[in-house]
Structure 1
Amino acid sequence: MALIGRIMALDKVSSGTEPNKAMKQKKNFIPEYADMPTPDAVLVNEGWYRKLQGRCKLWDRWTKGDYLDYNERLALFSNLRFLRYSDKNRFVLQDVLKFFVPETYEGHTCDEGQIRQKFRDSSLKPCPIVKGPLGVSQTIPEFLSQNIDIPIVPNLSKVPLENLDKWMDEHVPQFLDDREAGIKILKSQTASGKTERIINSLLTKVELEKTKVIYAAPKHSNLEEVETRLFNKATFNQIALIHRCPQKEITQSDLLYLQLGLPAKTRSAKRKGFIDKLFSPDEKGLFLLTHSLLTNLSNLDADLIIVDEEIDSSLIKETKLGLTNLATTIPFLDLQTSQELTNFINDVKDRKRDEGLAIDLTILREKVAPQVEERLDSYIQSTQTSSIAVGLFECYKTDGRLSKDNAGNNCVRMVRKSTLIGDAKLNGIPVRVFTATPLSKRTEMYYGVEIEVIEAPLAENKGKIVQFCGLSGARGMHNDNFPKIAQYIKEKLPQEVIDKSILITFKGSKEEVDFWQSQGFNVAENKGNQIHLLNNSGLDCFKGKSLIIAGKSDLPQQAYQDYYDDCHESPQELTRQNQVIELNGVRQSLYLFEDEEMRKLQLQNIQSNTEQSAGRARALREEGATVYLFSNLVIRDADEVIDR
């Protein structure tokens, strides 16, 4: 809109209005424009216009002989008139006229005379019409005045690795000794030595025989690794005080029970014994458990809770109950309840947002769920797994909200918050989180708290992270961007680099993984499972390797809408637009939410997934590690950024 406003103001100038008066008369126009100094001319050389190809739509259309209306021509020529050849016997105007097709403008005012007149018009100033580095709009003179062929080095202050190590040696013990109740976060780069220092502090500074400490990590594999590292350093007496939660053995039937919102049928004596010890006030020591278990327990009593990696995504449990799936329970209900449930389903199906987001679940809680539970085994056996009413029994614990499923149909969304944050504050328990990628914005929204983040200095990589920003990295509606991303990588990297590198990309089906393999990429895996953008946190198996990180993972629009709806009384429809922001040492143009709160949450989510994936090579400490990152949000760990 600013560009259109500027063009309309320039149009007044061409009609005889004084330049400054025209600019100031234009409503909704940038007021400073009238007072802007006229920019200096920029020297160009042979083939200057090739640098504009694919970056300036007006120039691309002009060179193709397409029709540009008067305002579009005005915007283009007001830029081009500030270019000068180094050779004084050559003129940019001559290059422009080479692409002029008189037949295109037959019957219009545009001719060679008008073009020359616009080039001589000293009142015209350039407006941004070029997609500059990292998508930021620039004028043609501004764009051509810089060397766009050299990599961009983010303007961030980075310290030597030795300085970071010294900081961590001092601050990690202080962070653990701080016994103020509630949650705090220590943010430091991947491979900065967080876990090693936690282990050392626990074994040298904490009397485990007198203290109950909980250590939580994302997955059981992380706990096994930490347990091994603890045992390698612990004394005989300390080993006896280290307890790791056994992994739950879950049957297919258990999975269905859990999906429905009920406890698993299979009972584990070892797991029960661990939880009994955890809750016993007389038991002391170090208890290792997953984020998921920690956030599902209530009224914990501990002297200290240590969380390795962000836990925010486990604090809020949400379930979406599809209406078609809910209808599969009707044959297992009495006649009256069946009719009431049918009415309930139709009401939710036709509900509009402006009619209210809260959904009364009384019919589910008091009639449907109890009747289905009485015939649960029969229901499970006679219903296809894909049609099970996932989350039905969550209605016992929470209320419902209107939402959309993946197909865009209305559904019932149920949200349950972990009591961890409240319990810690109430019981005086310090919760200390160590992560490279905090996701605290959502936690702050849901719990109404402000979480203190202590940030370590950013250190220089021993290896190298190179980021290519020519594509956004989005997967597309039906993965239709995969071929473009694959081709882009092949254009930028030599085949020998691709051959020796491991690819971390989107979570995919067998067909999607087969696509990447058919393109010659080595898809990352560990123990037979694909390692993708969302499940690599904490993994050490790619340390020192060459990695290709392809893609940018973000939550769907509806997820952000749900978060917004949960935390605001009068929810509005969220919208996004391209915005230029200063982030991680560069100005970059990104497609972000207009709402500031949602924009911060979105940036945290995207950066978290990208930085965690890039961190698997441990380039901070591994000199031979190189990471090639293909997405357009520049992360703070990037050493070089390639714009195209």
Structure 2
Amino acid sequence: MEMQLFALDFDGGAAFGEIQNQAARYHLPIAFAYSTFSSTRKLAKFRVVFLNDVPVTDKHAAEIMIRMLLRIFNQADQSCADVSRMFFGGKGLIGHAGREAINIVGLMESFQRYIFETQPKNYKREVEQFAKVNQIACLNGCLQIHCVHRDGKVEDFSVNDQYIYGSVTVFPSNIPKYFLITHYQADVCEKLEKTSLSYGEIRKDFKVIEQKCHLYHDFIKEPHIHHNERFHLLTNLIYILGGCKRFQSIIAKKGYDVQEWRFYAKYVKDRRYKPQSCEGHCPYSDTCDHVVNIVNTVKQKGDIRKICKDETYYQVDEVYSFIENHLQDALAAPRKGICLIPAQTAVGKTEAYCKLISREIGRRFLIAVPTNQLKREVGKRLGEKGVEAEITLSLDEMNLEGRLKARIQFYYQIGLGEKVINLLRDYIKENRDTEEPEIMNTVNQCNMYLRGSDALAESRVLVTTHARLLTLSSDIIKQYTVIVDEDILSTIFKNIRTVSRQTVQKVFDSGECPVVLQERLGQVIGTPDKGYGKFDKSFSVGYLSDQELEELEVYDNVNEIAAASAFQMDGDMVHYFTPRTLKEGKYIILSATSDSGLYRRYFPGRFIKEYPYHKAEYRGRLKQLTAYTMSRQCIQDNRDRLEAFLGLLQSRYQMITFMKYEAELGNTNLHFGNAEGVDWLKGEDVIVMGTPHLSEFVYKLIGYHLGIEVQTDVLAVRRIQYKDYEFNFMTYKNEALKNLQIFFIGKELEQCVGRARLLRNDCTVLVLSNFPCEQAELIQDDYLETAEDGGLMKACSPGMAGKL
């Protein structure tokens, strides 16, 4: 026997509209209602039917539910309490609300609220009497009917399965069960409801709660939030001193039902609710920087724990000797492949490979560095050691005539960068006889650039950039031992492009597409929003010319989709990743942030050797304030307090932060993404402010290319371990995807910290981020918390100032 539809018979003259309003008031959705055969115009008779979320297989549970419904709807025929009663059809539907269902726990809450509102003086006695008659355990005036999940502990307490039934319709991946506890299991109630927190235990400024909790901010500022979101807030705010009173005050101001929420406040306390988790209850749970629930979020102070023993550090000169030995060993190895030599920023890796090159006069070297500035600096240092090096010329460094410069930019913009060489040659032919100074200068520079391209295979020592290295042919690479300064995977992973869906559709419909591009654009168009796709490898790549794209009025880089490996649909935009590779050869990569696991994933089948990482202890000081995430949103939410805090420090510190805040809060014209290779901050005190998260599609698109499962994973605050630390961080569940995200963030922070050259200089770097940096002294105080007297920030008090 089982029962899922619960019907009430109304034949005493009650109006259907009255019953509808009552059902809505107590959050009991009516599945449908119909007029009975005996209904007349003068005396309306009807039945109201409620759909339970699961079939009820236990007679006792079904009887309890019927009795609760009859108590709430006392206008119904009270004799219809027998669960075996049959109800016949009628004349026709008078109401139909779909498949929204009730359940035994929600019904119990509505039942107790009804008693609270109709018999406030006898509330507890009435509930206890109902519990006694129906053989339900009662604790603190609350019926002990609980909803637990498959992984809950209720099953461990139950002596039998008599009152347990499972749902296969509501949450098929996480089946809930409803558990009625009898009088004989009252000890179970206490064990089940026990919590380590006390109501009103946490003391917090409500302005801080508003800044840290987006939902509480909406509760205050927005005219309306959903009932379930209010209930979620209530279960958390009762644990904060003055929280319940503040909640009721806002309820009254917003015009919500005050009596209803007085009941819920009492019910939550009596039932000893724990603070509801943000996940599953808050619409911001996937994007907000939170920890489990609101209470833990507002009371946390960094919560970073060191889990490893102190690391062994060497003297800087010893570490430098290790790097020299590793370089010599990698050079002597006969096998082609990639040698990864970990080397801290400022340990002297540039000096080490410049010395190696000056000694090995019989070998040819190609050096690749991240930026043009560093390229020129390395060329200068080689010259000082008597090494004549060819420095490749970059188009960005050339002072070109405006029309040619614009045309070059357009070629790169539309994915025709490979045709720039031909563009330069055509320009020289067209303007070789000109007498205009600006054009003559441009022609000379074009000739210099082309001569430099021709000389790539002739120089003993060649210095170029990461980006240029990735374009060189196998014929050139095989003539050199390639030394890569800093992690080239960072450069490769930046090769993500975005094009509008409208452009993709326009080009696809144009009839001008080469075959491969046409097929790929069709695959993109057929992919649902938020979906990912991979392209088959193709050895036949075709592009639309600049004239064809201009005729179509297309100015996005749709061409490179023909060479892409993976893409994602994102609303009106398409993101795609075009992989670059290192041609077969011998590569020595020196970097503080290279990840051998990522190299093996990206270069499958390639020989990769990783050398041990020997580290030196910083001579300078690295201090890290971890109480705030310092994401872009966090900075924006705490803008005023942050400006006051920074105002006391910026006269001493140089600043590196997000590009968005560089002009307003910074003072160096440096930001995440452009600080690599910068040397002029050597020995300076530096603030690095921010946790440099990238757009989520960057992690997932590259992860998808690497064969990582990305489509079902979501960002959430998780407890993770990274190097020497354990901490809470907004990241992914999938280990490989999490490591990819951490690679980007850790690399950027370490590079920015390295600008001060802490290994060899007595200076201070202050990091404001919740992502722990190596060798940092962690300061987990709330440095933006307002002092009770309204004075200076606590973080700027003499005690904190001494730490900084």
* TM-score, length basis structure 2: 0.55
- Show the counterpart of 1:311: 488
- Show the counterpart of 2:380: 228
Checking the alignment, whether the CA contact within 8 Å between 1:164 and 1:459 is kept in structure 2 is yes
- Show the counterpart of 1:599: 738
1:298 counterpart (473, 479, 485): 473
1:613 counterpart (741, 745, 752): 752
Checking the alignment, whether the CA contact within 8 Å between 2:368 and 2:465 is kept in structure 1 is yes
Aligned mates of 1:469, 1:418 — CA distance in 2:
38
Checking the alignment, whether the CA contact within 8 Å between 1:158 and 1:457 is kept in structure 2 is no
- Show the counterpart of 1:390: 557
- Show the counterpart of 1:523: 667
How much has 1:358 moved relative to structure 2? Answer: 5.2
Q: Does 1:623 align with 2:762?
A: yes
Which one is further off, 165-174 or 337-346? 337-346
Aligned mates of 2:456, 2:515 — CA distance in 1:
44
Across the aligned residues of Structure 1 and Structure 2, the Cα RMSD in angstroms comes to 5.5
Checking the alignment, whether the CA contact within 8 Å between 2:520 and 2:535 is kept in structure 1 is no
Give the residue type in structure 1 aligned to 2:580.
Answer: K
- Show the counterpart of 2:715: 576
Give the residue type in structure 2 aligned to 1:357.
Answer: G
Structure 1 SS opposite 2:649 = helix
Q: How does 1:402-421 map to 2 (within 5 A)?
A: 402-404=567-569, 408-411=571-574, 413=576, 415-420=578-583
Is the alpha carbon distance of 1:383 and 1:468 closer, same or farther for their aligned partners in structure 2, counting shifts above 3 Å?
A: farther
Aligned mates of 1:212, 1:338 — CA distance in 2:
43
Checking the alignment, whether the CA contact within 8 Å between 2:232 and 2:276 is kept in structure 1 is no
Is the alpha carbon distance of 1:138 and 1:200 closer, same or farther for their aligned partners in structure 2, counting shifts above 3 Å?
A: farther
1:534 counterpart (673, 693, 704): 673
Aligned mates of 2:515, 2:247 — CA distance in 1:
71
How much has 1:441 moved relative to structure 2? Answer: 5.2
Aligned mates of 1:496, 1:412 — CA distance in 2:
42
Structure 1 SS opposite 2:624 = strand
How much has 1:136 moved relative to structure 2? Answer: 5.7
Checking the alignment, whether the CA contact within 8 Å between 1:187 and 1:435 is kept in structure 2 is yes
How much has 1:580 moved relative to structure 2? Answer: 0.7
- Show the counterpart of 2:321: 169
- Show the counterpart of 2:85: none
Checking the alignment, whether the CA contact within 8 Å between 1:360 and 1:399 is kept in structure 2 is no
How much has 1:115 moved relative to structure 2? Answer: 10
Aligned mates of 2:231, 2:502 — CA distance in 1:
55
Q: Does 1:197 align with 2:352?
A: yes
Percentage identity across paired residues of the two chains: 17
1:642 counterpart (771, 780, 784): 780
How much has 1:213 moved relative to structure 2? Answer: 1.5
Checking the alignment, whether the CA contact within 8 Å between 2:659 and 2:671 is kept in structure 1 is yes
Deviations 1:444-502 (A, max 9, x none): 333325854435344433222222334322224xxxx5543543433544x34223332
How much has 1:172 moved relative to structure 2? Answer: 3.2
1:266 counterpart (414, 424, 447): 424
Structure 1 SS opposite 2:462 = strand
Q: Which runs of 5+ in 1 are unaligned?
A: 1-6, 81-91, 526-530
Is the alpha carbon distance of 1:486 and 1:158 closer, same or farther for their aligned partners in structure 2, counting shifts above 3 Å?
A: farther
Aligned mates of 1:391, 1:346 — CA distance in 2:
9
2:629 counterpart (472, 477, 493): 472
Aligned mates of 1:437, 1:534 — CA distance in 2:
15
How much has 1:338 moved relative to structure 2? Answer: 8.7
2:533 counterpart (357, 375, 387): 357
Aligned mates of 1:342, 1:231 — CA distance in 2:
47
- Show the counterpart of 1:4: none
Checking the alignment, whether the CA contact within 8 Å between 2:528 and 2:569 is kept in structure 1 is no
How much has 1:321 moved relative to structure 2? Answer: 4.5
Higher relative contact order (CA 8 A, sep 6+): 1
Structure 2 SS opposite 1:183 = strand
1:245 counterpart (392, 395, 419): 392
Deviations 1:74-128 (A, max 9, x none): 9999x99xxxxxxxxxxx9xx9999998999968997999999999xxxx99999
- Show the counterpart of 1:588: 727
How much has 1:438 moved relative to structure 2? Answer: 2.0
- Show the counterpart of 2:651: 499
Checking the alignment, whether the CA contact within 8 Å between 2:487 and 2:589 is kept in structure 1 is yes
How much has 1:310 moved relative to structure 2? Answer: 0.7
Checking the alignment, whether the CA contact within 8 Å between 2:244 and 2:265 is kept in structure 1 is yes
- Show the counterpart of 1:207: 360
Is the alpha carbon distance of 1:601 and 1:274 closer, same or farther for their aligned partners in structure 2, counting shifts above 3 Å?
A: same
Is the alpha carbon distance of 1:623 and 1:257 closer, same or farther for their aligned partners in structure 2, counting shifts above 3 Å?
A: same
How much has 1:581 moved relative to structure 2? Answer: 1.0
Checking the alignment, whether the CA contact within 8 Å between 2:498 and 2:573 is kept in structure 1 is no
Aligned mates of 2:269, 2:636 — CA distance in 1:
44
Checking the alignment, whether the CA contact within 8 Å between 1:579 and 1:590 is kept in structure 2 is yes
Structure 1 SS opposite 2:589 = strand
* TM-score, length basis structure 1: 0.67
For the pair shown, the structure with the greater C-alpha radius of gyration is 2
- Show the counterpart of 1:444: 600
How much has 1:139 moved relative to structure 2? Answer: 12
Q: How does 1:342-353 map to 2 (within 5 A)?
A: 350-353=525-528
Equivalent residues, number: 553
